[in-house]
Structure 1
Amino acid sequence: MRRFAFVLLLAGLLPLSAHAVEMGEDGLHKEPWLALTFKDMAEDLQTANDDGRRLAIIFEQRGCIYCRKMHEEVFSDPKIRDYIEQNFMVVQMNLFGDEEVTDFDGEALPEKEMAKRWGVVFTPTMLFMPKEVPDGGTAAQAAVEILPGAFGKGTTMSMLRWVNEELYEGEEHFQKYHARRFMEEEQAQ
């Protein structure tokens, strides 16, 4: 009887464990909110705009411990997950991948070469696109913000809001915005 009670207790604790994230054959984490596209940046931007969302590109790699941390500890938060689903179209790229990517200027390269072209050297890295990209530019040149590395829930949510609300157009620097939001949330508790 004790053994049965112990098994029931363990089964009840399973939902409290870390968010399990599906892994693709490419070794990258797969979230339901990741968009499956042909990785044509101009088309993806148009699709995001048509849906009333912002385009974001996330670079990851197989075995990335920081990517795992983002998926299990940050993207699993219902507030962050819901905010992404409602406001962003996210295209995942593999830092060492071979799938073809077409940049805004028409240049087509494998993911790993596009990462070099855009200066992406670390995973995860998120590039946030404006609603309109000037002709002849690259995604790296057009990006309104780049989030290099794994950050906690607060910083990630601040960046998502910063981009979605186009606060980068204002005078307040992101770091000051993030610090102000942090203080406001602390005082509200």
Structure 2
Amino acid sequence: MLKSLTLALALVAAPVMSATVGDDGLHKAPWIIDTFKDLREDLADAGAEGKRLMVIIEQRGCIYCTKMHEEVFVLPVIEKLLTDDYYVVQLNMFGDLDVTDFDGTVLPEKDMIARWNMMFTPTMMFMPESVPDDVTAVQAAVATVPGAFGKFTTFNMLNWVKNHGYDSDEPFQKYHARMIEAGAFPE
């Protein structure tokens, strides 16, 4: 019991390290995977690692992206989920790197993001384990989260997607409320 309490206190008291910022102005956390941005390949690689594909859209100077990287993603329980259970691919809202969508369309990041009608950063899109060849990422996503959220919402969303909550009759908002009421956030 004392060992468990000591470990729990150490995890809460442990200093959190924020992600570095790359030349493109985006945060570079250790759990973000640098890929060729072919979502079909990324989905296959995620599956091979037993992880879920998450696409995160960010932009230089985004104060909400900074909030997520410095206050939420760095919390040990959330960072562990991102590291252990997710294959995270980062896209730059105004970037020029080519992205290949699930339907085979290839466009620069900024044009792909416009095609998807994404307007906010950060935006997290969570993909199912398999995606048909004739759909876009937006059509395939099992959940899309535009904007910055606190630790409880982020933790619960990561768990809800990981555990296929979208396949149940309980929408995320009800799951989230139930988890908050149960005090399910480990601290």
The answer to whether the superposition gives a TM-score over 0.5 is yes
* Residue 140 of structure 1: aligned partner: 138
Structure-2-length-normalised TM-score:
0.89
* Residue 172 of structure 2: aligned partner: 174
Q: Deviations over 1:55-82 (max 9, x none)?
A: 0000000000000000000001000001
Q: What is the aligned-residue RMSD (CA, Å)?
A: 1.9
Deviation at 1:17, TM superposition (A): 7.5
| Gap regions ≥5 residues in structure 1 | 1-14
Do the aligned residues in 1 keep the contact of 2:47 with 2:129 (CA within 8 Å)? Answer: yes
Do the aligned residues in 2 keep the contact of 1:19 with 1:73 (CA within 8 Å)? Answer: no
Distance 1:178 1:118 in 2: 27
| Gap regions ≥5 residues in structure 2 | 1-12
SS in 2 for 1:34: coil
* Residue 4 of structure 1: aligned partner: none
* Residue 37 of structure 1: aligned partner: 35
* Residue 50 of structure 1: aligned partner: 48
* Residue 3 of structure 2: aligned partner: none
Do the aligned residues in 2 keep the contact of 1:94 with 1:112 (CA within 8 Å)? Answer: yes
Deviation at 1:134, TM superposition (A): 1.5
* Residue 107 of structure 1: aligned partner: 105
Distance 2:56 2:144 in 1: 10
Give the structure with the higher percent helix: 1
Question: Is 2:53 the partner of 1:24?
Answer: no
Distance 1:153 1:110 in 2: 32
Paired amino acid for 2:102: F
Paired amino acid for 2:25: G
Distance 1:172 1:109 in 2: 36
SS in 2 for 1:127: strand
* Residue 124 of structure 1: aligned partner: 122
Deviation at 1:19, TM superposition (A): 3.7
Do the aligned residues in 1 keep the contact of 2:16 with 2:75 (CA within 8 Å)? Answer: no
- What is the percentage of aligned positions where both structures have the same residue? 55
Distance 1:37 1:109 in 2: 15
Distance 1:71 1:180 in 2: 26
16 and 63 in structure 1: CA distance in 2 versus 1, 3 angstrom threshold? farther
Distance 2:23 2:52 in 1: 27
117 and 85 in structure 1: CA distance in 2 versus 1, 3 angstrom threshold? same
| Structure 1 consecutive aligned stretches of length 4 or more whose deviation exceeds 2 Å | 15-21
Aligned length: 175
Structure-1-length-normalised TM-score:
0.88
Deviation at 1:16, TM superposition (A): 8.1
SS in 1 for 2:183: helix
Distance 1:141 1:58 in 2: 16
Deviation at 1:138, TM superposition (A): 0.4
